[in-house]
Chains A and B, each alone.
Chain A
């Protein structure tokens, strides 16, 4: 009986050892990812997943690798949609293994990027479900709120869009895109005064922002013209 017990202990040790080997490969993938060697990172994480598709770290590493590759493509304005699609796929699989808070942000962000890249390729694509999923995963993902608001605005759901912009600015006052877009919304409605208010609020967050400076100046000029014309 004791001999059997010893064999069992030895087996557990062996498995732990194998676990250690696996972790080394995951570690190498992680190192490669950190230094920007994404191809090697993908290769290492994939090798671990070939042995154990349930490996959470390797799956997360693989998803992050695709994320980084897609982001690189995004920066050079190359068609990144297929890569974001692949990234989202990996996060979807990862979600089945680990649905902890740790991966939610990255998963949510990759959905935002996929929505954005999809729109870049097809302006009529319905990406709202992607953005809603993104927001459901991370209720602080203001990029998704902002894009969703822009889409709602284009669909003439102006009030919903306005609410989202205001919600975003309230929760994250440093999110300048929301000031710009909310100002634009007021401008298009002909409410120059409100537009100027919003853009000015944005400038308080970043006085050097070129876009906000540009629109604020235009709004000021318009307001002056309106005063001169006796419309205000």
Chain B
């Protein structure tokens, strides 16, 4: 039975234009996040299927997905964490370190032919240990506009290069808490994305240092190759692949003290921040939502469902019985062996002289041979 069918109530976490998110519990008490898509929206089942089957660390764990009442849904393990939007701006070393971990996950998925397609601060959570978790794969549209690559808005499918552009925009957001490509409407954002080559993120960052941004001017030169390699309008002008990005991030992180005390201190502070937010969220009242339609559906369609299940079980049993019968009743290999053995046996008989074949018969039957007759 589908887990989603057993869920009767939950808490609304977020309701957006694409879908509503609920925190729910299965009958066993395990918490899940249910993403219930609004009518007319859906996800790429190929990508979601690949994620559900994969064991790549750093992504959400999909328990099941499909359609219920005409609405697409994805049910995944509830992440006890905080959306990266809430944690921005982040300290530089921590942001670099976290981005590198995200890149590692994306590179692993890329080997399986999976691109995210909608990388944004909202789709990366940090769990209570500070580990990033990627959510919301398989988007069918261009993704979150302010973080989309220019070619995605033109209708191109998700790709490694497009994901890299989004990572650039995401990284800027993590450092500043502001969107690099913001605008009042779709056209304005699209125009900014198209003219991304004219945008100088370092200049914007430099301008924010005076207003309290925790970046030193000397750090900006470390970021220059990242912006150039990620935020180019032409995909061909971006970094070759995620592995190359990882190398740049490593260089930048090393310049920031690598995995040393500096990063450890920042991670510890972020951990405190995450715990604080989780604690605060825990006390926040959530809208209690009932899913009576699941129950009704269950009751309404119960006889049909039972009938279908019974038919499926019956068909399965018939197939299993046929397989077992065939496996027991006939094995070409043993029959082939029998044929070969018999053929060999008879060819021996056919090839032997008569006296060899019937060694005792002539004596036994006391027959007269021509030789004996002659004698």
Write the nearest CB–CB distance from B76 to chain A, whole angstroms: 24
State whether A102 touches B335 (Cβ < 8 A). yes
Write the nearest CB–CB distance from A155 to chain B, whole angstroms: 9
B351-375 near A? 1/0 per residue, CB < 8 Å? 0011101111101111111110110
State whether B370 touches A60 (Cβ < 8 A). no
A27 an interface residue at 8 Å Cβ cutoff? yes
Q: A2-B309, A67-B341, A211-B355 are in contact. Are A154 and B370 (CB under 8 A)?
A: no
Write the nearest CB–CB distance from B356 to chain A, whole angstroms: 9
State whether A55 touches B337 (Cβ < 8 A). no
Write the nearest CB–CB distance from B106 to chain A, whole angstroms: 38
- Which B residues are in CB contact (< 8 Å) with A230? none
B261 an interface residue at 8 Å Cβ cutoff? no
Select which of B337, B358, B364 is within 8 A of A33 by beta carbon: B337
Size category of the binding interface on chain B? 35 or more
Binding site secondary structure of chain B: helix
Report the Cα distance A13→B371, complex, angstroms. 70
- Which A residues are in CB contact (< 8 Å) with B374? 218, 222
Q: A57-B331, A154-B365, A218-B370 are in contact. Are A102 and B353 (CB under 8 A)?
A: no
Give A178's nearest chain B residue, CB to CB.
B354
State whether A9 touches B365 (Cβ < 8 A). no
- Which B residues are in CB contact (< 8 Å) with A95? none
CB under 8 Å from chain A, chain B span 68-91: none
Report the Cα distance A215→B355, complex, angstroms. 13
Of the stretches B194-202, B209-217, B266-274, B313-321, the one at the interface is B313-321
A135 an interface residue at 8 Å Cβ cutoff? no
Of the stretches B30-38, B108-116, B283-291, B342-350, the one at the interface is B342-350
State whether B320 touches A16 (Cβ < 8 A). yes
A71 an interface residue at 8 Å Cβ cutoff? yes
Write the nearest CB–CB distance from A185 to chain B, whole angstroms: 9
- A-side interface residues, number (CB < 8 Å): 62
State whether B361 touches A150 (Cβ < 8 A). yes
- Which B residues are in CB contact (< 8 Å) with A68? 341
- Which A residues are in CB contact (< 8 Å) with B316? 9, 12
B333 an interface residue at 8 Å Cβ cutoff? yes
Report the Cα distance A9→B319, complex, angstroms. 12
State whether A30 touches B333 (Cβ < 8 A). yes
State whether A215 touches B365 (Cβ < 8 A). no
- Which B residues are in CB contact (< 8 Å) with A75? 348
State whether A184 touches B369 (Cβ < 8 A). yes
Q: A33-B337, A123-B364 are in contact. Are A77 and B359 (CB under 8 A)?
A: yes
Report the Cα distance A102→B324, complex, angstroms. 20
CB under 8 Å from chain B, chain A span 21-80: 23, 26-27, 30, 33-34, 55-57, 60-61, 64, 67-68, 71, 75, 77
Write the nearest CB–CB distance from A187 to chain B, whole angstroms: 5
Report the Cα distance A64→B344, complex, angstroms. 12
CB under 8 Å from chain B, chain A span 120-162: 120, 123, 143, 147, 150-151, 153-154
Give A8's nearest chain B residue, CB to CB.
B313
State whether A64 touches B338 (Cβ < 8 A). yes
Select which of A61, A154, A180 is within 8 A of B337 by beta carbon: A61
A219 an interface residue at 8 Å Cβ cutoff? yes
Select which of B330, B341, B353 is within 8 A of A211 by beta carbon: B353
B260 an interface residue at 8 Å Cβ cutoff? no
A103 an interface residue at 8 Å Cβ cutoff? yes
Report the Cα distance A178→B369, complex, angstroms. 14
B328 an interface residue at 8 Å Cβ cutoff? yes
- Which A residues are in CB contact (< 8 Å) with B354? 176-177, 180-181, 211
- Which B residues are in CB contact (< 8 Å) with A19? 324, 327-328
Report the Cα distance A9→B310, complex, angstroms. 11
B140 an interface residue at 8 Å Cβ cutoff? no
State whether A150 touches B337 (Cβ < 8 A). no
A200 an interface residue at 8 Å Cβ cutoff? no
Report the Cα distance A188→B357, complex, angstroms. 21
B323 an interface residue at 8 Å Cβ cutoff? yes
A210 an interface residue at 8 Å Cβ cutoff? yes
Report the Cα distance A43→B373, complex, angstroms. 52
11 contacts between A and B (CB under 8 A): A12-B320, A26-B331, A26-B334, A57-B330, A77-B359, A147-B361, A150-B358, A175-B350, A181-B354, A183-B370, A215-B370
Hey, which bits of chain A sit against chain B, CB under 8 A? 1-2, 5, 8-9, 12-13, 15-16, 19-20, 23, 26-27, 30, 33-34, 55-57, 60-61, 64, 67-68, 71, 75, 77, 98, 102-103, 105-106, 109, 116, 119-120, 123, 143, 147, 150-151, 153-154, 174-177, 180-181, 183-184, 187-188, 195, 209-211, 215, 218-219, 222
**Other CB < 8 Å A-B pairs besides A120-B360, A123-B360, 17 of them?**
A8-B313, A15-B324, A19-B327, A26-B334, A34-B340, A55-B328, A56-B329, A67-B345, A102-B335, A105-B342, A123-B363, A150-B367, A153-B365, A153-B367, A177-B357, A188-B373, A211-B355
